[in-house]
Structure 1
Amino acid sequence: MSTPRKLRLGPLPSSGSTKLTFTCPASLKADLDAYAALHAQTYGEAVDATTLIPHMLETFMAGDRGFRKGSRGKAAPPKSG
């Protein structure tokens, strides 16, 4: 019997979104696709890398003490549009 995996990125919440486009190396895209497949297998919900990326970045930034310390007390940047 295998032990259930626990990924750093848990089940995805529903949220509004803003479109952002970026370029990455093919090896990173392959890793993102592999992570998406493992995430889908772990949580039983089909998901692609494009859906995971914002949540991965949010988790990364939330865990970055230097960023949190530097952004504490600062106003959010103005929204364009």
Structure 2
Amino acid sequence: MKLSKLPDRTPVKLITTLTPALAARLRDYADYYAETYGAREEVVDLVPFMLEAFLDGDVAFKKGKKKVDGTIPTSSG
């Protein structure tokens, strides 16, 4: 079969506490997103994609991860 087995797609709920300043910045980011794309998204819906983009773009993390286990982390797990 050409298609490999699908990765685990079970959502993992993570509860965290934010500083008031960070919460305000995230709301500002959601406003900017709405201005840019013409679609309003809630902060809670944007955060997973923001974190994934941050990790995907962190060159030092990728290099460090590669040194530790010989792999490069990807957004697919």
Give me the whole-angstrom Cα distance separating, in 1, the residues matched to 2:10 and 2:36. 24
In the superposition, relative to structure 1, how do residues 70 and 56 fare at CA in structure 2: closer, same or farther (>3 Å)?
same
Please tell me whether residue 43 in structure 1 is matched to residue 32 in structure 2: no
Q: Does structure 2 retain, via aligned residues, the 8 Å contact 1:37–1:48? A: no
- Post-superposition shift, 1:18? 2.3
The Cα RMSD (Å) is: 2.1
TM-score computed with the length of structure 2 as normaliser: 0.67
Task: Using the aligned pairs only, state the percent identity.
Answer: 39
* Runs of 5+ unmatched residues, structure 2: 1-8
Aligned residue pairs, count:
61
Select the structure of larger CA radius of gyration.
Answer: 2
Bigger proportion of residues as helix: 2
- Post-superposition shift, 1:46? 1.4
Dislocated runs of 4+, deviation >2 Å: 15-18
* Runs of 5+ unmatched residues, structure 1: 1-14, 77-81
- Post-superposition shift, 1:47? 0.3
DSSP-derived class of the 2:17 partner? coil
Higher relative contact order (CA 8 A, sep 6+): 1
1:30-65 CA distances to partner (integer Å, 9 max, x unpaired)? 110111011012111110111111111111111111
* Partner in structure 2 of residue 7 of structure 1: none
